[in-house]
Amino acid sequence: MIENTNEHNGVYHVLGGKIDPIEGIMAANLTVKKLVERVQSNNVQEIILALNPDIQGEATILYLKKLFATVPVKITLLARGLPMGSDIEYADEITLSNALKGRREIR
């Protein structure tokens, strides 16, 4: 889906899941080690985290943020908010909060 947007021309790394201790999925079960190796050996400028906005996604984001805290790489997160065609009346508080935080100037 990201490639279909033609908005990003970069290399992808698939983690293979999200950290979920309840299901027994820890960072060691994902391709995190391979990501670290790629970042260190390929002069990576930015890591764009594209994870679902759920508890497991947030846990994985926090883990990766801490993991790369001392590495000189920009870490960004896809904007979150209201999807096209949705009805703002039915949006939950977290979605609206993310939409407000991710707003951008249009003029």
Report the interhelical angle of 32-41 vs 55-67 (nearest 10°). Answer: 40
pLDDT of 99 > 90? The answer is no
| pLDDT for residue 86 | 86
Which spans in 1-107 are helix H? 2-5, 32-41, 55-67, 93-101
Q: What is the rounded distance in angstroms from the CA atom of residue 33 to the CA atom of residue 25?
A: 15
Q: Cα torsion at 38, 40, 42, 44 (round to 10°)? A: 90
Which pair of tokens denotes residue 73?
């790489």
Could you read off the pLDDT of 61-89 as tens digits, one per residue? 999 999 999 999 999 998 888 888 888 88
Q: What is the CATH topology of the domain spanning 2-81?
A: Dna Topoisomerase Vi A Subunit; Chain: A, domain 2 (3.40.1360)
Q: What is the pTM of this model?
A: 0.82
Kindly list the domain boundaries of the chain, sorted by start residue.
2-81
pLDDT digits (tens, 9 = 90+) for 11-68: 999 999 999 999 999 999 999 999 999 999 998 999 999 998 889 999 999 999 999 9
